[in-house]
Amino acid sequence: MITHSLAGDRRDTTVSIRPDRRMIFGGDYNPEQWPESVWPDDVRLMTEAGVTTVTLGVFSWAAIEPADGVFEFGWLDRIMGLLHEAGIGVALATPTAAPPMWLIEQHPEIMTVDESGMPTGRGGRLGWSPSSVVFREHALRMVRALAEHVADHPALVLWHVSNEISNENGHTYDDETAVAFRLWLEARHSTIERLNDAWGTSFWGHTYPDFEHVRPPRSARTHHNPALLLDFERFTSDALLGHYLAEREVLREVTPDVPITTNFMVMRSGGVADYERWAREVDVVSNDHYTMGADPRRHEELSFSAARTRGMAGGGPWLLMEHSTSSVNWQKLNLAKGPDEMLRNSLAHVAHGADGVSFFQWRQSRSGAEQWHSGMVPHAGPESQVFRDVCRLGAVLGRLDRVVGSSVARGDVAIVWDQQSVWALSTSRTPHDDLPFHDLPIAVHAAASRAHLGVDVVPVDDDWSNYPVVVLPNLWLAAEGMTERVDAYVRDGGHLIVTCRSGIVNSDDQVLLGGYPGAYRETLGVRVDEFFPVPGDTVVTAADGGGATWGARHWTERVEATRASVLWRWVDGPRAGEPAVTLNAVGTGEAVHVSTMPDAAGWDALLASLAGRWELRPTVTAPPAVEAVTRRTQDGTDVVFLLNHGDEEARVGLAGHDHVTDAPFKGVVPAGGVAVVATTAEEARA
Ligand code: GLA
Ligand code: GLA
């Protein structure tokens, strides 16, 4: 039986993965998909492109252990040798994302079971239950054999545990999981009476006489108890993390000096994992990120993702473990990237703290489920635009080794992220259930970027009390102590922005009574007695009384300003004439309530007026389309990344060396282009 309890043991974030402090540049390399005669060509092309590190072995369990207990490392030795000779480091994956056919054949019970009780068929990847004892034993035996075999290999720079744990084994409703879930619930609630109380099981007469009666939430004909669903999310995240920790234990024992990561998917909507918590268990945070090709504002989502990943890494460096050179093959329409888009994407991640840029995958597959996913070497071979772009990126990254290990300059604005709220909002049936959680935090982050206010994304459990401005964007759930934390922050001079759908329920998903938002209504000086969602694309208009207006969508509320003053009122929509945005002075600080989801112009107007009021200064003088992010190196150099997301060239008054053109910066960033300007303290003053 597997119990899931967590260690909470993270080593210091590794400052530099490669001993020579070079940028990580490369991708997933799957040589087992190709005849060995191709390998020398691969290594030659990697050298040409400036590749420094590849991720090897992600799906190679069947190649390493072709039969139960029979290990085969010859091929791995040969390819690691070739890579090492060329100076290319290896992030070695433990291939547990690819359980071999013989294992599934022998032990079909290791597989996840879906909500209807159907076991997952073979033919995919991951697919195993993190509570399966048999799977765990086979996985750890193989990981140990692999680690012992490569322990002293000079090419090994990083362990990459499994691959996107949770991606294809997110929720499972199998019998071993039922046992593990019950044990987890006992540890959380200690008695069945407390569980019944926390979940409010008197509703529909769901009272449990005993923990033995609780089951994972398989399909029912109605919605399940949302508090049960919320605990099942928490349990699932812990169970999956538990698998990572079990592998980590073996790796630390065998190779104590090799740092360990597992690749996150922080923007996977809904999010099965509480990555802010997982981040405390990895030596270096790494993330996979793919843009939605048809989304015209995909750069905003990318920047938010990168900033959030940086927040998990405590503001320090992290790795972009995967993205794509061009199209993916899993969207409805898989658009190829436009001119310079791959360079812009890559450097945006580096701007936000990535010390490496890697791709899925090195050579585009000829066969298999991902044959139409782009790679660094496309089907056409090196004579291709994609490979030329890869080489250009490699050259630029080669000039950016100086930023390795540096942090991003701290911002004035902290956007607080809370995975518990993501889950609580998705497990409940609320007045508007068609609002992707990410939209609001992304909109705030993008508006702050356009205004050139330094902005960070900070985990709710971290200390954000020193930020001049703190934003709580749809933080539906307020954990114990949050009300006091938030109130003290404002009293001590903080500037708080709370959006709609924040502070509504406690940790057990129970509504905080007496008027919304129960957790913050005293601090905000408002009381809401009913929500008024707005259908479809209907735009409602707010005005400041001085002639300025902006539009908002999706959500309004009947707001009574009990102590707050009204900054903006509705001129139309279901609450015409009533408050839309209020401000309350508390102690030496101010608390703003935004009772809706403003559109981009709305956030621009709100932030412009609040930035003036709160005396926030822009970090650079540049047009709004230019995103500017600064990494500060140990030697006192500011490296300013200027990403022009617009379709006109942009003038920026900065002097220094541009690492993209490898020439002095001329003060102009081309449309869709990037400049990476290193300014020493003296140059910046000049
Ligand atoms: C039906 C049921 C009620 C309640 C309402 C909600 O009428 O009988 O118990 O669920 O739907 O609309
Ligand atoms: C994920 C996986 C990769 C690959 C890519 C395709 O990131 O980790 O193995 O499937 O998606 O986009």
168 lines ligand 2 (CB under 6 A): no
Q: Report CA 172 to chain centroid distance, whole Å.
A: 22
What Rg, from alpha-carbon coordinates, does the chain have? 26
Residue 628: count other Cβ atoms within 10 Å of its Cβ: 22
234 and 271 Cβ atoms separated by less than 8 Å? no
> For 250-260, how does the pLDDT look when each residue is reduced to its tens digit (9 = 90+)?
999 999 999 99
Question: Is a pLDDT exceeding 90 seen at residue 271?
Answer: no
Per-residue pLDDT of 547-573, as tens digits, reads 999 999 999 999 999 999 999 999 999
Q: For residue 594, what are the CA distances in angstroms to 311, 402, 434, 451, 567?
A: 24, 41, 19, 19, 10
Which residue, 517, 518, 519, 515, is CA-closest to 482? 519
Q: Identify whether the C-beta of residue 23 lies closer than 8 Å to the C-beta of residue 317.
A: no
| Identified catalytic residue from 233, 247, 322, 627 | 322
Question: Residues 6 or more apart from 71 whose CB is under 8 A from it?
Answer: 64, 65, 142, 145, 149
Question: Which ligand gives the minimal distance to the CA of 429?
Answer: 1
- Triad 657, 663, 665: Cα angle to 5°: 55
Look at residue 673 in the predicted model and tell me its pLDDT: 97
Q: Is the pLDDT of residue 686 over 60?
A: no
Task: Work out the pLDDT band at 685, boundaries 50, 70, 90.
Answer: very low
| Rounded Cα–Cα distance for residues 324 and 319 (Å) | 15
Work out the pLDDT band at 397, boundaries 50, 70, 90: very high
- Annotated active-site residue 148? The verdict is no
| Average pLDDT value for residue range 6-17 | 56
Coil, strand, or helix at residue 541? Answer: strand
User: What is the pLDDT, as a whole number, of residue 629?
Assistant: 98
276 lines ligand 2 (CB under 6 A): no
How many alpha carbons lie under 13 Å from residue 444 in its C-beta half-sphere?
28
Q: How confident is the model at residue 15 (pLDDT cuts 50, 70, 90)?
A: low
pLDDT at 440: 97
Burial tier of 203 (Cβ tally within 10 Å: 0-12, 13-18, 19+): exposed
CA 270 to chain centre: 11
Confidence of residue 536 (pLDDT cuts 50, 70, 90): confident
Nearest ligand by distance to the CA of 292 = 2
Of the listed 65, 164, 176, 276, which one is catalytic?
Answer: 164
Ligand 2 contacts CB of residue 467 (under 6 A):
no
Residue 320: closest CA among 284, 293, 292: 284
In this prediction, residues 308-322 reach a mean pLDDT of 95
pLDDT per position as a tens digit, 604-649: 999 999 999 999 999 999 999 999 999 999 888 999 999 999 999 9
Q: What is the mean pLDDT of the chain?
A: 95
pLDDT in tens, 326-373: 999 999 999 999 999 999 999 999 999 999 999 999 999 999 999 999
151-186 per-position pLDDT tens digit: 999 999 999 999 999 999 999 999 999 999 999 999
Residue 253 annotated to the active site = no
Residue 269: per-residue pLDDT? 66
Local confidence band at 17 (pLDDT 50, 70, 90 cut-offs)? confident
Residues of the chain above pLDDT 70, percent: 97
Residue pair 234/217 in contact (Cβ under 8 Å)? The answer is: no
C-alpha 179/C-alpha 172 separation (Å) is 12
